Structure 1
């Protein structure tokens, strides 16, 4: 054998053994602890990965190699390592189980950025990945490795989601995905279609910060076969609990910076004080389990946690963030979503019938509250009946429902809007203005409002938001010889926001929205029959009011919208209550004998 061939034989043999040698039996967390290196540009703590820094990620990552688990759902806040958890799974696939993979981000631009700045640097920094990474054959949106490829896709690009079979599917920040991918279906459904050729050994990982209850990640969490939360032991009593925001104790009177320094956590079992220094030990001793105590994984396994668990977040940080954001709905929504990892369900957006029934005013039905300035009404016209509501208004747009109900004819509408309503001291009030919906039976509504123009106006809900809440238009009915009929276009969404905002005010605050004593449940359920949701209109995402269920009755909600519009139209915002003047006593002057008028037969006609 030639000398040259002999010198290469050991290298060839070593290379062959390297190819044929089976991969180590490692879990994802074990592999990451050995081989994952964090980039200094994108990581808060660059260098060798250590799962002990974020122990809660161990159970999530290791579920990826659990044969019982097909899909992992991680419902998370921001900045707890969720994306790095996903990256570790991808690195494990490349090094340990090479098979086609697809990683989906909310849009194609983010996919390119992440590939260039996080995924490719991850492959270059780890020797275990670098030796398998073919950088010269790779593109930003398609990375090539020994025995596999990884497609990096945007949820808004149907081309990047189709035509390639994949075994491993990773979806990041799914609540930011568009509802449709171009003219195609839901991007998550398109991505799942690619796994059909691996029916028995596919793995799907989806993670996101939640937005609304009907958002993708919350719906996935609700549909999980098992829902796990991270339980940690109290350093004082040893009882296991999840971290809850309500257990953080702080003085609301302090400034945010002082709250950061003084807030602490209170154990819900022993009331022991838990400091930030206790958290690392608690996290290392924690475990993923159900509220009933089970740690079993199933086919669809969900994991949920909030930002209190993060090693980079102090108890005071959470309390301070809440104090600074609670008065601004947009900032409060960010706190609920990004810190507590809960769907946004503030009562300013979603109403509850119990909240309505709790807003009793102390007045019986039909009694006008003290300091009322005016009354308004709203009528919702249906095929065979009319729903109505009458509301009393006082300063600051404080309002009380004094009567609501159903009548069957137009004369009955006229009667209920024209009778007098009295306060406790006997003062009479009449409905100053009633808004009548013209959406169902426009002709009859116009006739009614023309005949009763001194107190009734016809309205119609606007299809799109209006810049000024409502808009007066004029219509003609030439066939009946009527011209210049007033019709108000009303922004119903604005007044539904108005009602929901007023419902959350405290009883002693000006501007509250109240109902009379023993208000009926049907009224409360109809007033709260809608919720605010996000919808995609073209490329813009907007919030709109929609019925909670497909056939929910919302007639009383419409009536209250119309009554609120009527009060706004009359200028209730700027009115002030004037105390009634006491009846002045007649001035009587005692007649004197020296002064007699000529009418009394005196000596002088003066």
Structure 2
């Protein structure tokens, strides 16, 4: 009830043992009805623990997690297809790639997709290769800088992107039936301000410029305008929670903007679909253990279901104890590429807008056009004699 008098009396009687082990940075920080800064801190915590941890301890608690239906690390790592590393499933006919740019490493994922979004992760990794299954970005060795010691930051990043894309975009990937496929669409994360210009330059100058595009994941929360409500401007291309805006200016290259919250939820939904069902996403190989680190990246974020603008939205946030989520970003980006290539879930198929009814020319000229007078597009043309008569009138 907000009255701490009884608690204060108890604290007075047992203060020595209750203060034991506590460290206070500001001894004078307490109110007139309190007897110590430690008591003040505990009162704040009891009133609102989340606010206390965020504002006074600088250690915010995770928000209420919506993880009941999210797969665990072991469940994701165990969703293997049995196909060899780099082998394309028979049902898939589209290959996509996404590259996440960090100062020390490039993280990437290659995925195969069918028209109904049944997919398979057929390759992933980091450049330069770390030559070990367990590593993190902070302990990366070698790094982009050590691979190109004579180059500055921009030169080293350009060279790293060139080496990775020349290798992967030139490859042919064998499908189960022996057909050879190549990566049709690849996006490069251009959100990091220090790298944005060099990524745009690379995508423009690369020998694979027809496949590569810079991309920007946008945090579209519940309070934001959903991308499905964006108004298409001349030259824009709109898709399922992604768009390619018309461009002008020094960068002068098309790029992709997508709703990162939506596509992360989309990937987790695909992982939750059982193997064999349409829309399921699987991993290569037979041994779950090889995908432990990949699965840790995919579970490095939690989602909070939030309501706003008359809709519920998953808002994804990095867990306090995790630092690496790069393959989650890459896998979501691969799905965006697949959508750009025409993949769609049957239940998400975009319905064509109904054809606008044609209006009789006579009704237009007489100012009497109405829905009742509209005629379907297949109706006959007006006779020339009628047009002449109307003109003479």
TM-score range normalised by the length of the shorter chain: 0.5 to 0.7
Distance in 2 between residues matched to 1:513 and 1:500, nearest whole Å: 9
Bigger fraction of residues in strand = 1
Query: Residue 532 of structure 1 corresponds to which residue in structure 2?
Result: 303
Q: Indicate how the Cα distance of structure 1 residues 361 and 550 shifts in structure 2: closer, same or farther if over 3 A, else same.
A: same
Query: Residue 405 of structure 1 corresponds to which residue in structure 2?
Result: 125
Query: Residue 453 of structure 1 corresponds to which residue in structure 2?
Result: 209
Tell me which of 312, 315, 319 is aligned to 1:548: 319
Query: Residue 242 of structure 2 corresponds to which residue in structure 1?
Result: 470
Q: Indicate how the Cα distance of structure 1 residues 574 and 514 shifts in structure 2: closer, same or farther if over 3 A, else same.
A: closer
Shift of 1:366: 0.7
Distance in 2 between residues matched to 1:464 and 1:571, nearest whole Å: 23
Query: Residue 573 of structure 1 corresponds to which residue in structure 2?
Result: 344
Distance in 1 between residues matched to 2:125 and 2:32, nearest whole Å: 55
Gaps of 5+ in 1: 1-101, 103-160, 170-191, 207-214, 220-341, 576-606
TM-score, structure 1 normalization = 0.37
Distance in 1 between residues matched to 2:127 and 2:71, nearest whole Å: 26
Query: Does the alignment pair 1:494 with 2:236?
Result: no
Query: Residue 354 of structure 1 corresponds to which residue in structure 2?
Result: 74
Tell me which of 262, 279, 292 is aligned to 1:511: 279
Distance in 2 between residues matched to 1:393 and 1:502, nearest whole Å: 12
Secondary structure at the residue paired with 1:442?
helix
Distance in 2 between residues matched to 1:166 and 1:536, nearest whole Å: 39
Shift of 1:472: 1.8
Report how many residues are paired. Answer: 253
Shift of 1:551: 4.5
Shift of 1:507: 1.8
Distance in 1 between residues matched to 2:189 and 2:181, nearest whole Å: 23
Query: Residue 388 of structure 1 corresponds to which residue in structure 2?
Result: 108
Q: Indicate how the Cα distance of structure 1 residues 425 and 534 shifts in structure 2: closer, same or farther if over 3 A, else same.
A: closer
Q: Indicate how the Cα distance of structure 1 residues 462 and 422 shifts in structure 2: closer, same or farther if over 3 A, else same.
A: same
The alignment yields a C-alpha RMSD, in angstroms, of 3.9
Q: Indicate how the Cα distance of structure 1 residues 371 and 542 shifts in structure 2: closer, same or farther if over 3 A, else same.
A: closer
Q: Indicate how the Cα distance of structure 1 residues 424 and 193 shifts in structure 2: closer, same or farther if over 3 A, else same.
A: farther
Query: Residue 435 of structure 1 corresponds to which residue in structure 2?
Result: 187
Q: Indicate how the Cα distance of structure 1 residues 460 and 193 shifts in structure 2: closer, same or farther if over 3 A, else same.
A: farther
Deviation string 1:427-468 (CA, Å, 9 cap, x unpaired) is: 100011011101121112112222333111111111334323
Q: Indicate how the Cα distance of structure 1 residues 166 and 197 shifts in structure 2: closer, same or farther if over 3 A, else same.
A: farther
Distance in 1 between residues matched to 2:198 and 2:211, nearest whole Å: 16
Distance in 2 between residues matched to 1:550 and 1:471, nearest whole Å: 33
Shift of 1:488: 1.4
Q: Indicate how the Cα distance of structure 1 residues 168 and 508 shifts in structure 2: closer, same or farther if over 3 A, else same.
A: farther
Matches within 5 A, 1:51-130: 102=1
Contact 2:297 2:326 in 1 (8 A): yes
Tell me which of 149, 166, 175 is aligned to 1:423: 175
Secondary structure at the residue paired with 1:383?
coil
Q: Indicate how the Cα distance of structure 1 residues 509 and 195 shifts in structure 2: closer, same or farther if over 3 A, else same.
A: farther
Deviation string 1:270-299 (CA, Å, 9 cap, x unpaired) is: xxxxxxxxxxxxxxxxxxxxxxxxxxxxxx
Distance in 2 between residues matched to 1:410 and 1:513, nearest whole Å: 27
Distance in 1 between residues matched to 2:244 and 2:65, nearest whole Å: 38
Distance in 1 between residues matched to 2:307 and 2:343, nearest whole Å: 35
**Could you say which structure has the larger radius of gyration?**
1
Secondary structure at the residue paired with 1:520?
helix
Secondary structure at the residue paired with 2:75?
helix
Contact 1:165 1:194 in 2 (8 A): no
Distance in 2 between residues matched to 1:509 and 1:443, nearest whole Å: 42
Shift of 1:388: 0.9
Query: Residue 522 of structure 1 corresponds to which residue in structure 2?
Result: 293
Query: Residue 375 of structure 1 corresponds to which residue in structure 2?
Result: 95
Deviation string 1:392-424 (CA, Å, 9 cap, x unpaired) is: 002421100111112241222222122100013
Contact 2:95 2:110 in 1 (8 A): yes
Contact 1:167 1:195 in 2 (8 A): no
Distance in 2 between residues matched to 1:566 and 1:544, nearest whole Å: 21
Distance in 2 between residues matched to 1:528 and 1:343, nearest whole Å: 12
Distance in 2 between residues matched to 1:563 and 1:343, nearest whole Å: 26
Query: Residue 582 of structure 1 corresponds to which residue in structure 2?
Result: none
Deviation string 1:196-242 (CA, Å, 9 cap, x unpaired) is: 4798xxx9xx9xxxxxxxx97xx9xxxxxxxxxxxxxxxxxxxxxxx
Deviation string 1:548-579 (CA, Å, 9 cap, x unpaired) is: 2355201111111110110011111179xxxx
Tell me which of 198, 221, 228 is aligned to 1:444: 198
Distance in 2 between residues matched to 1:195 and 1:506, nearest whole Å: 60
